[in-house]
Structure 1
Amino acid sequence: LAAALPSQKNTVLFVGYQAAGTRGRQLVDATKQVRIHGRDIPVAARIERIDSMSAHADAGEIMRWLSGFSRPPAMTYLVHGEPVPLETLRARIQSELGWPVHVAQYLERVELPALG
């Protein structure tokens, strides 16, 4: 997070509730800097949030949410979870929705196309 926040090229996406007094809450409330490990980190990254689901949604909830998209994304990235459940969800998204899915590896960086 400390490496991502200073760059305008990055987006930090929060899913679900961010409790008062947390770094997440500071960021969604548009703070200009946040303290991480004793250092003040400037915030230039784009901060976005999705409030329509819990950060701990199960596979069924995730599938219902994805099914509501008006068009499929160019790529769906799975970035949080244990390897076996992630692989199961990847296979389900591909088989039920026909979407391309990538399970990100630890510390993997992915270039996303600019919006516009």
Structure 2
Amino acid sequence: MGARADAMLTLVVLFVTAVAHLLVDAVFSVPFLVAGAIATLAFEGIAARDPDAVRRYWERPVVQGVTLVVALAGVVVGARVAPSIVLSFPVGSLVTYLVFLAVTNPAYRA
């Protein structure tokens, strides 16, 4: 699948998160934005230990599909339960991941 598909999936979840954020009129929580960013960087650091194994696992369509459904369900539930916290975390995480992709993949550089 590759980095472009990863970016597209990330943008789908980010878009749904942004729409949910607007619909519930949530306020961003800076600590949870930062926590999302740190979580993404921590995951990428751990995944860098064996990127081939992580890529083989992630390339499975069922893994991507389940991950997408769980992420979207988390956004929907979070928007109803604790929107400022639950919606801030993925925004921090997803934006950080998009920046990570742009920095680490030559195809995204101009």
Relative to the length of structure 2, the TM-score reads: 0.24
The structure number with the bigger radius of gyration is 1
More helix per residue: 1 or 2? 2
Relative to the length of structure 1, the TM-score reads: 0.23
More strand per residue: 1 or 2? 1
Structure with the larger RCO, 1 or 2 (CA within 8 Å, 6+ apart):
2
